[in-house]
A and B are shown apart, each in its own frame.
Chain A
Amino acid sequence: MRKYLLATCLSAVALCAASFAYADDDPLLTMQKDAKQWVTPRADYAATGYSTLNQINASNVGKIAPAWTFSTGVLRGHEGAPLVVGDVMYLVAPFPNTVYALDLNNDGKILWKYEPKQDPNVIPVMCCDTVNRGVSYGDGMIFMHQADTTLVALDAKTGKVDWSVKDGDASKGQTGTDAPFVFKDKVLIGVSGGEFGVRGWVSAYNAKDGKLVWRAYSEGPDSDLKVDPQKTTSLGKPIGADSSLKTWKGDQWKIGGGATWGWYAYDPKLNLVYYGSGNPSTWNPSQRPGDNKWSMTIWARNLDTGEAKWVYQMTPHDEWDYDGVNEMILTDQKIDGKDRQLLTHFDRNGFGYTLDRASGELLVAQKFDPKVNWATGINMDKNSADYGRPIRVKAMSTEAQDVNVKGVCPAALGSKDEQPAAYDPQTELFYVPTNHVCMDYEPFKVSYTAGQPYVGATLSMYPPKGDSNMGNFIAWDNKTGKIVWSDPEQFSAWGGALATAGGVVFYGTLEGYLKAVDAKTGKLLYKFKTPSGIIGNVMTYEHGGRQYVAVMSGVGGWAGIGLAAGLTKPNDGLGAVGGYAALSNYTALGGTLTVFALPQD
């Protein structure tokens, strides 16, 4: 009996200590501060995509050249980025999701590879190519989220399976495309399948043994949402009971979308996890009257319990497929002389949002593409019943079934899709790869069958009137909500950005260029055409005293649909030579890693 009591006390003490000493006993947090490594998908918990390495800088980046390359042998779209932990690089390819461990001490020799056996029937239930957005590291293990929703933990040294769990059911259209996110002692994964009527959720597993700790849904009863009607707030007010159910007709929420496949961030001091939920399902809005909460929402959840602290729905009752899953970037900046804990998010709907990440207060919401026309702005009047809601343009509504609505900007791809932005604390600017595409959208009645596409609208996409560029790479001030500079891109800028202390920002383009631009001015400093179009994220690391910049090529994904064949209306407007031409005239398929460095003397 005495022994038992003692044990209880000790564990209670340990628990107390753990909750306060967040920095010291989280080795992953310490590792993130070592810029030589790249241990999480977006460089750090805050998802900044920023490195303090500066050997490559604005004055010498023009001299960098490929140092080594690696082929994955897979022809599908390659999103995400490799990791570097110690002397080893880890990467995962699209389906069948082979993981490679490459020895940086030995010219990238393959230390081990892991190829899961998966049912190929998962391939056609992945709406937009069989992409995978990367692996994560934690506690000596590499975590990978397979297409069939299996989360597997591999021994980082040997590639042997430590544990494996199945998170969903691919026969119902539930699939895995997002990277796992290791925060402290947990691994979080989301689910894809918004176009298959999947009701989105997030699962948190114990990194050590793969035990499910919590699972929280985007839609449904409060217990499924993991919300407290009084304590969970939206724009400072309690959300109340049945906040989701009240905004759906009948049982539509059970097939209501709100998938969770984007980039997650974590604030260890607040112990909050941030991510976005996707489009409500179907794409025919008249089949789902109501706000469709909590699709299209920024979520802040307690890492240990999953309980939601605050929510903010950006696009109530979506009518255009403006998924809210894009990355949440966490920064500490001064606004009006006051220190603020900020969250910045570039939504598919074309608005760049800045919020207080502790309280969920909305600070800034402005268009990051001037062509956005479905809303004139976001209501910032705290006394208005519509506070925080978009001010919609009636002509752009797709509420009427069987009516073709023309000229909606942005297109369903969003002003930005999953390709993550980066933040440079020196310039206090965000570097954002964007899409510059509009659409016609016609909804019609659609019927649900489990495991089958559940879309309900047809759309045609094309560049905004008078423009021939389908993308821009921009610098954004999140405090004022203004574009500082903007570099046009012929195609959507679909590669994730890297900001560095060398004053250089890197990104990849759909034609396959790795580009380096000046962080202050956007001036092009270097470009190199890699073997295939880039939809992956640029990363950097240091090895043997040398800084390397790496990116995966391999065109595909949403960008590979339509853009690969050329958008519609190729002869409209300017008729500029090559302006709207098919991407297939510029690049072909193939997964390749290209690693750049300054030449050695």
Chain B
Amino acid sequence: MQFPVSRLLLALWLGLMSGVVVAQADPPGDPAAVKLGDDGYWRDKNGDPTYKIEKDGTVDFATFQGFRRFNSTCFVCHGPDGSGSSFAPALADSLKTMDYSTFAGVVVNGRKDFLNGQDKVMPSFGDNKNVTCYLNDIYVYLRARSTGALGRGRPPHHAQKTGQYGDNEDKCMADN
């Protein structure tokens, strides 16, 4: 139990130093992929979605999809490949200290920061299928960016969809 306490203190200290209120979030932990689920997403030892990158640079399909979807909806504020813009944070950095559930919560509910003369507002994407249907994809892509496992730009090679991935995607994106 010692570890979480010191981590919280560190978060508080960082918050005081920078004048930023740090959301109570844990780092996402070891990103190593241990199991491929029936839904076509790799999981880490805690069961959170993660990326799988082969030695030759081939990424799993979800990571590739995350690259595409991020660089469509999210990049207009957060910059290409999560590298940030003049008015929104670099998520390739933010994900270093943000776990899966916190990430999902911010994407779905939005977030407002009025600090240092900068009004930063992230809208709720809860009813945007281009985001919610690909929440895990965007997460694993950014997770790979945050650990340095994946660089800037388009992944050169990617694996194919597996399991229920394709069916779930079609159902999720279908017009109601």
Cβ contacts B68-99/A at 8 Å (1 or 0 each): 11111101110111011111001000000000
Residues of B contacting A565 in the complex (Cβ-Cβ under 8 angstroms): 79-80, 83-85, 90
Candidates B69, B85, B114, B153; contact of A568 at CB < 8 Å: B153
Whether B112 contacts A404 by the Cβ 8 Å rule is: no
Whether B128 contacts A569 by the Cβ 8 Å rule is: no
A72, chain B: closest CB distance, angstroms: 11
Residues of A contacting B68 in the complex (Cβ-Cβ under 8 angstroms): 442, 444, 458
A438, chain B: closest CB distance, angstroms: 14
B167 CB–A CB distance under 8 Å: no
Residues of chain A in range 453-472 having any CB-CB distance to chain B below 8 Å: 453-461
Whether A564 contacts B85 by the Cβ 8 Å rule is: yes
Residues of B contacting A570 in the complex (Cβ-Cβ under 8 angstroms): 152
Whether B86 contacts A555 by the Cβ 8 Å rule is: yes
Whether B86 contacts A452 by the Cβ 8 Å rule is: no
Whether A453 contacts B117 by the Cβ 8 Å rule is: no
Whether B84 contacts A564 by the Cβ 8 Å rule is: yes
**A589 to B125 CA separation, bound complex (whole angstroms):** 28
Chain B residue at minimum C-beta to C-beta distance from A558: B76
B56 CB–A CB distance under 8 Å: no
Whether B80 contacts A461 by the Cβ 8 Å rule is: yes
Whether A556 contacts B86 by the Cβ 8 Å rule is: yes
Candidates A95, A440, A589; contact of B154 at CB < 8 Å: A440
Q: Which of A53-61, A118-126, A259-267 makes up part of the contact surface? A: A118-126
Candidates A95, A96, A444, A460; contact of B153 at CB < 8 Å: A460
Residues of B contacting A459 in the complex (Cβ-Cβ under 8 angstroms): 71
B46 CB–A CB distance under 8 Å: no
Residues of A contacting B35 in the complex (Cβ-Cβ under 8 angstroms): none
B118 CB–A CB distance under 8 Å: yes
Please classify the interface of chain B as helix (H, G, I), strand (E, B), loop, or mixed, using the class held by over half of its residues: mixed
B173 CB–A CB distance under 8 Å: yes
**A449 to B176 CA separation, bound complex (whole angstroms):** 12
Whether B119 contacts A125 by the Cβ 8 Å rule is: no
A587, chain B: closest CB distance, angstroms: 10
Q: Given A440-B154, A449-B128, A560-B87, does the pair A568, B76 have CB atoms closer than 8 Å?
A: no
Whether B80 contacts A452 by the Cβ 8 Å rule is: no
Q: Which of A73-81, A82-90, A200-208, A324-332 makes up part of the contact surface? A: A73-81
B159 CB–A CB distance under 8 Å: no
B30 CB–A CB distance under 8 Å: no
B130 CB–A CB distance under 8 Å: yes
Residues of chain A in range 557-571 having any CB-CB distance to chain B below 8 Å: 560-562, 564-570
**A449 to B123 CA separation, bound complex (whole angstroms):** 13
Residues of chain B in range 91-140 having any CB-CB distance to chain A below 8 Å: 110, 112, 114, 117-123, 125, 127-131, 133
**A453 to B138 CA separation, bound complex (whole angstroms):** 15
Q: Given A195-B76, A452-B127, A453-B76, does the pair A129, B90 have CB atoms closer than 8 Å?
A: no
A358 CB–B CB distance under 8 Å: no
A75, chain B: closest CB distance, angstroms: 5
B42 CB–A CB distance under 8 Å: no
Chain B residue at minimum C-beta to C-beta distance from A122: B121
Residues of B contacting A555 in the complex (Cβ-Cβ under 8 angstroms): 86
Whether B86 contacts A460 by the Cβ 8 Å rule is: no
Candidates A96, A560, A569; contact of B152 at CB < 8 Å: A569
**A568 to B81 CA separation, bound complex (whole angstroms):** 9
Candidates A76, A125, A564, A569; contact of B123 at CB < 8 Å: A125
Chain B residue at minimum C-beta to C-beta distance from A554: B86
**A560 to B70 CA separation, bound complex (whole angstroms):** 17
**A446 to B172 CA separation, bound complex (whole angstroms):** 12
A384 CB–B CB distance under 8 Å: no
**A562 to B90 CA separation, bound complex (whole angstroms):** 11
Candidates B79, B121, B125, B173; contact of A562 at CB < 8 Å: B79
Whether A75 contacts B123 by the Cβ 8 Å rule is: no
Residues of A contacting B154 in the complex (Cβ-Cβ under 8 angstroms): 404, 440, 460
B133, chain A: closest CB distance, angstroms: 8
Candidates A73, A123, A457, A556; contact of B72 at CB < 8 Å: A457
B51 CB–A CB distance under 8 Å: no
Residues of A contacting B87 in the complex (Cβ-Cβ under 8 angstroms): 75-77, 129-130, 556, 560
Chain B residue at minimum C-beta to C-beta distance from A557: B86
Residues of B contacting A446 in the complex (Cβ-Cβ under 8 angstroms): 72, 130
Whether A569 contacts B153 by the Cβ 8 Å rule is: yes
Q: Given A446-B130, A447-B130, A457-B72, does the pair A560, B121 have CB atoms closer than 8 Å?
A: no
Chain A residue at minimum C-beta to C-beta distance from B70: A458
A445 CB–B CB distance under 8 Å: yes
A residues bordering B, Cβ < 8 Å?
73-77, 95-96, 120-121, 123-125, 127-130, 195, 283, 404, 440, 442, 444-447, 449, 451-461, 555-556, 560-562, 564-570, 589
Between A and B, 30 residue pairs with Cβ closer than 8 Å are A74-B117, A75-B86, A76-B86, A77-B86, A125-B123, A446-B130, A447-B130, A447-B133, A449-B127, A452-B123, A452-B130, A452-B131, A453-B76, A455-B76, A456-B130, A458-B68, A458-B71, A458-B75, A460-B71, A460-B153, A461-B80, A560-B87, A561-B76, A561-B77, A561-B79, A561-B80, A565-B79, A565-B84, A565-B90, A570-B152
| 10 cross-chain pairs, A with B, having the tightest CB-CB distances, nearest first | A560-B86, A565-B83, A458-B71, A447-B129, A452-B128, A123-B121, A124-B123, A568-B153, A561-B85, A455-B72
If A124-B122, A560-B86 are given as contacts, then 20 extra A-B residue pairs at C-beta distance below 8 Å, sorted by A number, are A75-B86, A76-B87, A77-B86, A120-B114, A123-B119, A124-B110, A124-B123, A128-B76, A129-B86, A130-B87, A447-B133, A447-B173, A452-B123, A452-B128, A453-B128, A458-B71, A458-B72, A565-B84, A566-B83, A568-B153
B residues bordering A, Cβ < 8 Å?
67-73, 75-77, 79-81, 83-87, 90, 110, 112, 114, 117-123, 125, 127-131, 133, 152-154, 173, 175
